[in-house]
A and B are shown apart, each in its own frame.
Chain A
Amino acid sequence: DVKVTQSSRYLVKRTGEKVFLECVQDMDHENMFWYRQDPGLGLRLIYFSYDVKMKEKGDIPEGYSVSREKKERFSLILESASTNQTSMYLCASSPLVRVTEAFFGQGTRLTVV
């Protein structure tokens, strides 16, 4: 059974903290993605990566960075968390040549207080 696993289901952090969201996939996929999901807005792409150490900005990269040191792991970093980053964060992976056939993790609900 294929899996994309996000390290936390729920997180509560304080404003200004550095926050790490971790995602691991076991399907040997080249592509990995980080989205945020807010009510009424659907999913918005933050960053994606098509290879180790490679990253591309999505639609809303401001306030975020990412790290992909190993093929199976893609980390989302909030350098200084703010309340407007309270959201559901979803990680996904897909094969290189079938980029839209994505598999998703269970999501991390982050609350910044």
Chain B
Amino acid sequence: KQEVTQIPAALSVPEGENLVLNCSFTDSAIYNLQWFRQDPGKGLTSLLLIQSSQREQTSGRLNASLDKSSGRSTLYIAASQPGDSATYLCAVSPDSNYQLIWGAGTKLIIKP
């Protein structure tokens, strides 16, 4: 059974730092992996989606990597800002017709 783990559960860093959030999964047979952002009272927003054949995706200051063989993904945030404070969730999909399997998230706080 696929399990998704995100460590640490919470992270606090000063503004301006580059940081990495981690996601690991137990079964390398995935269809894709997504990173989401969750703000209080605003639901979830998809940030980056990486197909199983891809190694990374970039959007602005965000870069997500995928290493299927080791069961790991990282979300790199460059030059962090207080507005980046949120909970970041990782989710994998076993195939194109199945639902997402979620990590518990990392709560990120960027201190001004």
Question: Which residues between 76 and 113 of chain A lie within 8 Å of chain B, taking CB atoms?
Answer: 90, 92, 97, 99-107
**B2 CB to nearest A CB, Å:** 11
Q: Which of B43, B104, B105 is close to A4, meaning CB atoms less than 8 Å apart?
A: B43
Q: Chain B residue with minimal CB distance to A58?
A: B99
Query: Is there a chain A Cβ closer than 8 Å to B9's Cβ?
Result: yes
Query: Is there a chain A Cβ closer than 8 Å to B42's Cβ?
Result: yes
> Known: A42-B4, A42-B89, A43-B102. Contact between A101 and B43, CB under 8 A?
no
**A99 CB to nearest B CB, Å:** 6
* A106 and B42 contact, CB distance less than 8 A: yes
Query: Is there a chain A Cβ closer than 8 Å to B32's Cβ?
Result: yes
**B32 CB to nearest A CB, Å:** 6
How many residues of A are counted as interface, with CB atoms below 8 angstroms from the partner's CB atoms? 24
A33 to B98, CA, bound (A): 12
Give chain A's interface residues, CB within 8 Å of chain B.
4, 9, 33, 39-45, 48, 58, 90, 92, 97, 99-107
Provide a sorted-by-A list of 21 A–B residue pairs whose CB atoms are within 8 angstroms.
Answer: A33-B99, A40-B104, A42-B102, A42-B103, A42-B105, A43-B91, A43-B100, A43-B102, A44-B102, A48-B99, A90-B43, A90-B44, A92-B44, A97-B96, A100-B31, A100-B91, A102-B46, A104-B45, A106-B41, A106-B42, A106-B43
